[in-house]
Amino acid sequence: MKLKAIVWVGCLLSLTLPGAAQGYGAYRADPWNDGKGATLRQRSGNGGGYAEVYGSYIQGNLRSSSEAGSAWTAGARTGGLKHFDRVSLTGQAAVSQTMGYRSAGSLLSRPASYLFDFYEFSPALKVRRDAELSGGLCQDLSAAWQWGIRGKVAFSKIVKQETLAHNTSFLSSGLRPGIQYRKGSFAMAASYQFSYEAERIRLNQELSPGEDTPTVFFDEGLFYGSETPWYLLSPIHSDVGFLVRKFSHGAAIQLSEKALYAGLSSRWSRGEVWANAVSSSLYDFSSWDLDGDLDWSRGPHRLHASVDYLWMEHQPLPENDPSASRLTLKTALQYGFVGRGWSFAAVASLLDREGCTLVNARYRVDQQVLIPALDTRWTLALGKAGLRLAAGWTCGSLSESGPSLPSGTVANRLDRYFVRYREHMVSHKIVLSPGLRWRFGGGLYADAALWWNHGFRLEYLGADRISGTLAFGYEF
pLDDT at 148 over 80: yes
- pLDDT tens readout for residues 163-177: 677 889 999 999 999
pLDDT band at 30 (very low <50, low <70, confident <90, very high): confident
Ranges of each domain in the chain: 2-475
Q: What are phi and psi of 9, to 5 degrees?
A: -65, -40
Q: Are 461 and 63 in contact (CB under 8 A)?
A: yes
**Beta bridge mates, 153:** 133, 173
Higher pLDDT, 376 or 406: 376
Q: What is the value of pTM for the model shown?
A: 0.86
Residue 8 pLDDT: 39
Q: How far apart are CA 195 and CA 177, in angstroms?
A: 12
Residue 115 pLDDT: 86
Burial of 268 (0-12, 13-18, 19+ CB in 10 A): middle
Q: How far apart are the first and last CA of the chain?
A: 29
Residue 2 pLDDT: 44
Residue 18 pLDDT: 40
Q: Which residues contact 448 (CB under 8 A, 6 or more apart)?
A: 435, 436, 437, 468, 469, 470, 471
- pLDDT tens readout for residues 387-405: 999 999 999 999 998 766 6
pLDDT at 5 over 60: no
Other CB atoms within 10 Å distance of the CB of residue 28 = 12
Q: What is the mean pLDDT of the chain?
A: 86
Higher pLDDT, 12 or 243: 243
Q: How far apart are CA 362 and CA 359, in angstroms?
A: 6
Q: Are 170 and 156 in contact (CB under 8 A)?
A: yes
DSSP state of 212: T
Q: Are 20 and 442 in contact (CB under 8 A)?
A: no
Mean pLDDT value of segment 257-282: 82
Instruction: Specify the DSSP element, H or E, that contains 203.
Output: strand 186-203
Residue 339 pLDDT: 92
Q: Are 170 and 114 in contact (CB under 8 A)?
A: no
User: Which overall architecture, per CATH, does domain 2-475 show?
Assistant: Beta Barrel (2.40)
Other CB atoms within 10 Å distance of the CB of residue 474 = 16
Q: Are 126 and 160 in contact (CB under 8 A)?
A: yes
DSSP string, 279-311: TEEEEEEEEEEEEEEEEEEETTEEEEEEEEEEE
Higher pLDDT, 12 or 387: 387
Q: Are 451 and 466 in contact (CB under 8 A)?
A: yes
